[in-house]
Structure 1
């Protein structure tokens, strides 16, 4: 063992951090787990997930997804992506997630249609997918919008048929019995551009109506919308998030 390896790390004579059992620069504080990062996507090639991710689509199978009645997902898989089949209904993950980091890549079709789809966190809270590169709609319905509630900070939409990327940080709502203790919060990046930062939601998505909370679990499936256009998806993964309780 080298002298450097024998030398203690950190300090034992520093103040305790408020709300923690650890000292400032505490050498006994546990190290964070190691995660191997994935690769970033390109237009020609899907990205790869980090080593601790739950893989929701691996380019080959929709085994992690089901249709609206719980049947095998009726969308089609080909060439490393899957595509929504119009009028077959939404699909959602078999696994339910609470607080999480979600990554997905998607491509909107050429005309006709505007590539209308959406990502629903916990099957209730929609982040819009829609061609807004050369198409205009109401502000809280554009791509990246928290549908019916909050427009994105900017329009970072790419042209039709190009691959776009959502990276979403989701904090689920908290209830104590019937009482809402904390709303859902969401952070969204589209193509690497920040659209929402810890934005509170007013409740589950509604059309032409105000959102409102009702008691629910803090876990739910991730849902993708069939809105009549054949939208493509690839490289979907999710990382469940936990608090800093171990650190």
Structure 2
């Protein structure tokens, strides 16, 4: 009797669903709120949209400070709408702090770059700069157009964690582009990880990190680990041959 009862119940449910489907209207599954905000895109693909914070538009480094001397007014060189890395002055980071964001940034390896492996156009974009340990979460910048190194340390990698899905490097002298979606980690009150960080990165139009879940920070030596933190600056690394430094331009971010 129980089996028969269950069969009848299932049959009635199926009949009801069929009847409801016959009576359904397109508007039953349409909704009109919330209304997405209007954002005007830039004229070119690399131009900042209307709701972006322009971190470098070619004129000055007003949005940036030296990590080693936040009061310094003499920072990296700005000329011809380009920032050039200055190894002697160290890293720079944004004055503002961010949590989740969309980032656009362009970089150029010098056409006459020398060296090999990690000593060839080395820099890095720290999506959240931290004042301890490995210094945050680094998206690698390096010349790998024709330069071999360990795969989780080449351009497009989350350094020492996740190798890129493809090598999309342009040749030295050409401009490279990163478009990044960063979801910051969240922490419980006791400092344990509530949700890990995630990153999606597109390098020169090619997907190189696909919603990758980070295991922690990105140290040069040792295993990654998390330490509780809140909003953090974005940092550009000064790392490489000071006589042939790399350059950055056209940097903007959208809070998500």
The match for 1:17 is none
Question: In the alignment, is the contact (CA less than 8 A) between 1:175 and 1:216 conserved in 2?
Answer: yes
| Residues 1:115 and 2:115 aligned together | no
Q: Secondary structure at the match of 1:143?
A: coil
Matches within 5 A, 1:67-106: 67-68=66-67, 69-70=69-70, 71-72=72-73, 74-106=75-107
CA distance in 1 between partners of 2:109 and 2:176 (Å): 9
* Structure 1, gaps ≥5 residues long: 1-10, 15-23, 42-46, 242-247
The verdict on how the C-alpha distance between 1:48 and 1:64 changes in structure 2, with shifts beyond 3 A counting, is same
Using the TM superposition, give the Cα deviation of residue 12 of structure 1 relative to its aligned residue in structure 2, in angstroms.
11
* Structure 2, gaps ≥5 residues long: 1-24, 130-135
Q: How many pairs were matched up?
A: 215
| Residues 1:40 and 2:36 aligned together | no
Question: Normalising to structure 2: TM-score of the pair?
Answer: 0.80
Output one character per residue of 1:181-220: Cα deviation in whole Å (capped at 9) or x when no partner: 1110000000010001110111111012100111111x10
| Residues 1:234 and 2:249 aligned together | yes
Matches within 5 A, 1:1-247: 14=28, 24-27=29-32, 29-40=33-44, 47-68=46-67, 69-70=69-70, 71-72=72-73, 74-109=75-110, 110-113=112-115, 114-123=120-129, 124-177=136-189, 178-217=191-230, 219-229=231-241, 230-241=245-256
Using the TM superposition, give the Cα deviation of residue 176 of structure 1 relative to its aligned residue in structure 2, in angstroms.
1.0
In our comparison, the structure showing a higher alpha carbon Rg is 2
Q: What's the Cα RMSD here?
A: 1.6
Question: In the alignment, is the contact (CA less than 8 A) between 1:97 and 1:220 conserved in 2?
Answer: yes
Structure 1 stretches (4+) deviating beyond 2 angstroms?
11-14
Using the TM superposition, give the Cα deviation of residue 231 of structure 1 relative to its aligned residue in structure 2, in angstroms.
1.1
Output one character per residue of 1:117-160: Cα deviation in whole Å (capped at 9) or x when no partner: 00001111000000000111001100011101110011000000
The match for 2:9 is none
Question: In the alignment, is the contact (CA less than 8 A) between 1:55 and 1:236 conserved in 2?
Answer: yes
The verdict on how the C-alpha distance between 1:104 and 1:190 changes in structure 2, with shifts beyond 3 A counting, is same
Q: Secondary structure at the match of 2:83?
A: strand
